[in-house]
Chains A and B, each alone.
Chain A
Amino acid sequence: MDEVLRYFQKGFNYSQDGPGNRLVYHLSGCNLHCPWCSNPEGLAPGGGREETVSRILRAVASARPMFFDGGGLTLTGGEATLQFKAVMQLLEKVRDLGIHTCIETNATHPRLPELFPLLDLLIADYKIPDKEALFSWTGADISVVEENIRKAAAFGIPLALRTPLIRGVNDDEDDLAGFVRFFGEVKGPGVTVEFLRYHEYGRDKWEKMGMRYAMADAFVGTERVLQFERACREAGIDVVRT
C-alpha cells in the first residue's frame, strides 16, 4: 500500500542536515513541546501538505542532479518518526535507488532502531542529560532516547548527536557532567557531537501563529560553548561544528 506523508516544508539545504546538498522534508507533527522550537509550524500533526510515498519518491529521484557533494535525502520535522510507517516505506525505496539517506530525530520513538538499516546517517537530539529536566522542558522520556542512541552506536550507523545549548536549560556544571558522561559512553568511530548555540529564529513564527514564545535571556556565550566542547574533547569525544 502506498503510504501518505504529511510535510510542512521542503527544499534543499547545504551542510546542516547531513553531508552535501540535501533535499529536506520537514514532516508534520511533533510529540514534544520544546519552548525554543524553531519550527513551531510543524508541531501540529495535521498541518502542511499530504503526498503519497510514491509521489515523494519520484520527486526525490528527480532531484538527483542536485545531490552534489555527497548529498541526498533528509527527513526532519516536526518529528519525522511520528509518521513511522510511511517514513520506513520511503526510506526503503530511496535506499534502493542508491540515494544517501538521513533522518533527523528527537530519538523518542521506541521503534527507531528499525530504521537504522535504511539510513546512511542518523542525526539525533540529546537535549538535556537530566531525566526530570528533560521531561519537564520537552516531555521526552530520557530512557527511550538514551536506549535508541546506544543502539544506534552499537549498530555502527554514522551518528551525529546534537545539543542546542540553552542558558538556564542545559548549560550548568551538572549538565556538562551529564553530557560528558553520556557522550563518553556512546563515543566511537562514526559518532560525532555538536553543540548548537541557542538562537531565536523561531520567535517570529511563534508570534505569527498567535502563540507566546516563552524563552527569555537564553543565549549562551561563546566561552561557555567552548568549555562544553573542550570538556567533551578531553573525554575523547569527537566534537564537530557544521
Chain B
Amino acid sequence: MYTLPGSAKVITAMAKELFREERARLRLDGWFYLKESYIRHEAAYADLPPMERAACQLKEAIRELPLEISKHALFAGTQRDAFARSYALINPSFQVESFAGYCDPTAVFDDIEPNEEITAERIRQVREHDRQTPYVKKLSQTYEAAERYTGEVAFFMEQVTGHVVPDIRPVLRDGVCAQIADLEEKIAKEADPKKRSGFRAMKTALEAVLVLAERYGDIAREQLQTADETDKSRLEAIIAALEQVPARGARGLFEAIQSFVLMWQVMCIEQAPNPFAFSVGNADRVFEPYRAMDGMDREDAAALLKHLLVFYNVADRSWAISQNLIVGGRDTKGNDLTNLTSYALLDAYYDMNLPQPILSTKLHRNTLDELYKEMGRFFFTPGCLTPSLFNDDSLFPILKAHGVRDEDLPDYGIAGCQEPLIMGKDNGNTTNTWLNLAKILELTLTGGKSLVTGEEIAHYAAVLPPVERLRNLRELFYENLAGFLKEMEKAANGCSEAVSCLPVPFLSTMMGGLETGYDMRDTVHQGTRYNGSGCLIHGLAVVADSFVAVDHLLAEKPELAEDLLKALEKDFEGYEELRSYLLSLPKYGNNEDEPDEETVAIANRVSDMVKSLRNYLGNPFRVDFSTPSTHLLYGYWVGALPNGRKSRDMLNYGVDPFAGEAGNGLGLRTLSTMKLPFEKFAGGYASHFGIDPKYFTSDSHEGKGLEFKQKVVQPLFFNELADHISPFYLYVNVTTPEMLRKVLANPKKYAPSGVYIMRIHGTFVNFLDLSPAIQEDIIRRLDPESTSIEC
C-alpha cells in the first residue's frame, strides 16, 4: 500500500502552497496545444467513424500534452489544460452592455494572448481550421437562423458541454483495465456495427487515461532522481499510486483521489476548451468507502481532500467554474447518508475557503443537527464560502414523477448551479435554452417592436389596437410565447445536433455508454438512461407583477390605459406619476393573493408549455426557473414594463420577487415562495436569501447553524403545514450591503487574503474578482428588506 508523505498539517500546508502557485498562473495555453494536436492527427484517423476518430485523437493529444508535477502536489493531475480564460463574470473586461452570450465557438481564440511561442499566426491558423469544422459550421448556421430572436434575447440557446454528473465509482472500484476487458468482450460479441464502433471508441478513450498515468509516473520517477528527503516520500507515494490506479481499483483514499483526478482530467480535456459545470455528485459517498478501507480519521481525510479541492481551481481566477461537490442526503427510505467523509470534506472546504469547487448540501427531515451545526461556521464567517441547500424530501418525488427510477433517486447530483441530474445516467443538456418571458411580454405589448432599439423583432399573436392589447394581455402573451417557443425548440435542437459532431467517448464510459454502446451526445440513439434539454426561464415575477398592474390600471384608471403604452415607450419619462401608481400596486413576494396567484398561474402555464417542447431525441424540455446572472444580462435588453420597472433594469432573479418589491420580510416572502408549483420545476430553479447576520444571536457558530435551521430552512423546506411539494433549493449570503461596500472600499482590511467568497447563483466567486456590474448586482440582490426577520 502507501504511506502518507507527512502529517495532516504538512499535507495541508502543501495544499495551500499548491493553491498559491496555481493562482499565480496568468496563462492558460493547454487547450490551444490540445487543439493543435487534434489537427495534427486529423488526417491519420480521417477514415474512422467520428466517435472512434475522437477517441484516437484524444489519446494522441494526451501523449503529446506538456505535463508537469508541482513540488507541492500530492496527486498528479490538473484541469488547467481544459480551460481558457473565458468565463464572462470573472473576466475583468466583462461588460453587461457588450455581452453577446457564448454563441461563437471560435471566440475563445480571443482569450489567448499571443506570445513568442504561441504566435498570432499559430492562433489564426487554428482558428481558421476550427471555422471549417462541421461543428462550427452547423452551430453558426443555427445562430444565424435565430439571430432575430437572440439579438435582444427573446430567447437564447447554446450547445451544452460539461454540465453532467459522471459516475466515476466503477473505475475507483474496479479500475480502467477491468472496463477495457469488458469492452473487448463486447466488441467481440456485438453485431450492431454502430455499437461495436462505439465500444471500440470507448476502449481507446479509456486507454488514454492509462497513457496519462504512465506519463505522470515517468515524470515522478524522473523527479525522484534529484529529490531531497522530504520530496522523496511525496514522489514515492505518487509513483506507487500511479502504478495501481486508475488501471486497477483503489485500495484506500489516497489512491481513490488519484484515480478520480486523472479520470476527471481526461474527461475535461476531451471537451476542452471550457467544459464548465461537470459535477462530482455525492462526493462524500464516492470517497467514504476508501476512507473506511484505510480507517483514516477525519483530520487526515480532510488534509487529503484539500488537495482534491485545489485541483478544481484553475489559474489566477479559478476559471473552471461551477463544478459541484455534494455532502449529505438520504436514501429512498429516509435514512440519513451523511458519513465521516461528509464532515472531513466540510473541514477541508472551511480551512481552504477556495473560490472553487462549489459545495452543496442535501438536507431532509431527518438530517442530523450535527450537520446544521457544522454549516454554521460557513454561514457566519464573513467572506467564507457557503453551501447551497437542496431538499431531498421534495426532489425525490419530483424526479420520480418525471420518470426517474427509485434506485436512482439518491444518486441525483447537481450539475452546475442547481440542476438535478442523475449521476452517470442523465444527459440533461441543462443550459440548452434560455427563455426571456419579460422580453416576450414587451413584444406582446408593442406588437413585436423592441422598446430598447425600435427594431421589429417578431410577433405571433393577434394584432389588436393598443388598449385592446392590454385588455387581452394574458392570452396574447401566451399566444406570442407559443410562437417563440416553437422557434426556440428548433434552434436548441440545432445546437445539440452541432455539438453531436464532437463525440465524447471518454465521458460516455461514465454516462452509461459501456452498456448502450452509444455516445452520450448521439442525436439518434439515446446513450444515457435519462435525457432531456433544459430551459432556463427568466422574468417570472416581473411578468406577474405587470399583469396585476395592468388589471388594476384598467379597473381603477381606465382613462390612462393608452398612456401606459406611451409611458413604456418613453421609459416613463414625463409619466412619473403613472409610474408611482404602478409601483404602489401589489407585488409578488408579500403573501398577497392577487400577485402570488398570478405568479403561480404563469409558472404553471409556462412550465406546461416548455415541457411540451421536444428535443432531438423526442424527450421533453426540462423546466428550470433559474437565471444565473442572466436576469441582469437579459434585463439589459428589456424595455420598461407595466410593473414600473424601467428599461434595461435587471429582471427578478430566478423565482424570487423583483428586488425591492418584497419589503415585508422573510416570513411573508417565504409564504409566497411556498405557493409555487415546485413539482413542475424538475429542471431546477434559483432562489437566494441575503440574510443579515444580526438576526442570529447564539454565541457560537454551531448555535447559529441550528438557529439557521430553525428560522430559515425548516419553515421553507420542511414545513408541516405545506399543502403541496415544498421548495427544494436555496442559496444564501449572510451579509449586508454595508459590509460588502466596506470590503470593496478597503479590501486590505476586510479581505486580507485577497479572497472574499460570495455566492452568485450556483457558484462561488471571489467578490473581489468580479466585474463592477456583477458586484453591484450582488449588493442589490441581497435585498435585505425581503429577508428581514424583524418587523
Residues of B762-791 contacting chain A, CB below 8 A = 788-791
Residues of B703-731 contacting chain A, CB below 8 A = 710-711, 714-715, 719-722
Give A137 to B689 CA distance when docked, in angstroms: 42
CB distance from A106 to the nearest CB of B (A): 19
Q: In the bound complex, do residue B791 and residue A58 qualify as a contact, i.e. CB atoms below 8 Å apart?
A: no
Q: In the bound complex, do residue B668 and residue A65 qualify as a contact, i.e. CB atoms below 8 Å apart?
A: no
Q: Contacts A11-B664, A21-B715 given: A66-B670 contact, CB under 8 Å? A: yes
Q: In the bound complex, do residue B791 and residue A65 qualify as a contact, i.e. CB atoms below 8 Å apart?
A: no
Q: In the bound complex, do residue A63 and residue B710 qualify as a contact, i.e. CB atoms below 8 Å apart?
A: no
Interface size class of A (residues with CB under 8 A): 20 to 34
Interface residues of A, Cβ cutoff 8 Å to B: 9-14, 16-17, 21, 23-24, 26, 58-59, 62-66, 68-69
Q: Contacts A62-B591, A66-B715, A69-B710 given: A11-B671 contact, CB under 8 Å? A: no
**Could you count the A-B residue pairs with CB atoms below 8 Å apart for me: how many are there?**
59
Cβ contact of A12, chosen from B593, B667, B719, B720, cutoff 8 A: B667
CB distance from B473 to the nearest CB of A (A): 25
Smallest CB gap from B785: residue in A: A11
Contacts of B674 in A (CB 8 A): 65
Smallest CB gap from A14: residue in B: B789
Q: Is B592 an interface residue (CB 8 A)?
A: yes
CB distance from A199 to the nearest CB of B (A): 13
Cβ contact of A68, chosen from B665, B715, B788, cutoff 8 A: B715
Q: In the bound complex, do residue A12 and residue B721 qualify as a contact, i.e. CB atoms below 8 Å apart?
A: no
Contacts of B710 in A (CB 8 A): 68-69
Q: In the bound complex, do residue A10 and residue B664 qualify as a contact, i.e. CB atoms below 8 Å apart?
A: yes
Cβ contact of B591, chosen from A26, A59, A68, cutoff 8 A: A59
Q: Is B666 an interface residue (CB 8 A)?
A: yes
Q: Is B695 an interface residue (CB 8 A)?
A: yes
Q: Contacts A10-B664, A58-B593 given: A65-B722 contact, CB under 8 Å? A: yes
Give A69 to B666 CA distance when docked, in angstroms: 16
Q: Contacts A59-B591, A65-B674, A66-B715 given: A12-B722 contact, CB under 8 Å? A: no
Q: Mark B660-678, 1 if CB is under 8 A from A, else 0.
A: 0000111110110010000
Q: In the bound complex, do residue B721 and residue A14 qualify as a contact, i.e. CB atoms below 8 Å apart?
A: no
Give A16 to B721 CA distance when docked, in angstroms: 24
Give A210 to B674 CA distance when docked, in angstroms: 40
The tally of residues in B whose CB lies under 8 Å from a CB in A reads: 24
Smallest CB gap from A76: residue in B: B791
Contacts of A14 in B (CB 8 A): 695, 711, 789-790
Which of A11, A17, A21, A64 is the most central at the interface, judged by chain B CB atoms within 10 Å of its CB? A11
Contacts of B788 in A (CB 8 A): 11
Q: In the bound complex, do residue A16 and residue B714 qualify as a contact, i.e. CB atoms below 8 Å apart?
A: no
Q: In the bound complex, do residue A63 and residue B671 qualify as a contact, i.e. CB atoms below 8 Å apart?
A: yes
CB distance from B634 to the nearest CB of A (A): 31
Q: In the bound complex, do residue B721 and residue A64 qualify as a contact, i.e. CB atoms below 8 Å apart?
A: yes
Smallest CB gap from B723: residue in A: A65
4 smallest A-B Cβ distances: which pairs? A12-B667, A11-B791, A11-B665, A65-B721
CB distance from A204 to the nearest CB of B (A): 14
Which of A58, A66, A68 is the most central at the interface, judged by chain B CB atoms within 10 Å of its CB? A66
CB distance from B584 to the nearest CB of A (A): 10
Contacts of A58 in B (CB 8 A): 593
Cβ contact of A63, chosen from B668, B722, B789, cutoff 8 A: B668
CB distance from B474 to the nearest CB of A (A): 24
Contacts of B715 in A (CB 8 A): 21, 65-66, 68
What are 7 pairs between A and B in contact, CB < 8 Å? A10-B664, A12-B791, A14-B711, A26-B791, A59-B592, A63-B667, A63-B671
Residues of B129-182 contacting chain A, CB below 8 A = none
Q: In the bound complex, do residue A66 and residue B791 qualify as a contact, i.e. CB atoms below 8 Å apart?
A: no
Cβ contact of B668, chosen from A11, A16, A26, A69, cutoff 8 A: A11
Contacts of B789 in A (CB 8 A): 12-14
Give A12 to B664 CA distance when docked, in angstroms: 8
Which of B695, B710, B790, B791 is the most central at the interface, judged by chain A CB atoms within 10 Å of its CB? B791
CB distance from A21 to the nearest CB of B (A): 6
Contacts of B667 in A (CB 8 A): 11-12, 21, 23, 63, 66
Give A135 to B704 CA distance when docked, in angstroms: 43
Contacts of A59 in B (CB 8 A): 591-592
Q: In the bound complex, do residue A13 and residue B790 qualify as a contact, i.e. CB atoms below 8 Å apart?
A: yes
CB distance from B785 to the nearest CB of A (A): 9
Give A105 to B263 CA distance when docked, in angstroms: 67
Smallest CB gap from B790: residue in A: A13
Q: In the bound complex, do residue A63 and residue B791 qualify as a contact, i.e. CB atoms below 8 Å apart?
A: no
Which of B666, B695, B720, B790 is the most central at the interface, judged by chain A CB atoms within 10 Å of its CB? B790
Q: A10-B664, A12-B668, A24-B791 are in contact. List 11 more A-B contacts (CB 8 A).
A: A9-B791, A10-B668, A11-B664, A11-B788, A11-B790, A14-B695, A21-B715, A62-B671, A63-B671, A65-B671, A65-B674
Contacts of A26 in B (CB 8 A): 791
Give A18 to B244 CA distance when docked, in angstroms: 64
Give A11 to B592 CA distance when docked, in angstroms: 12
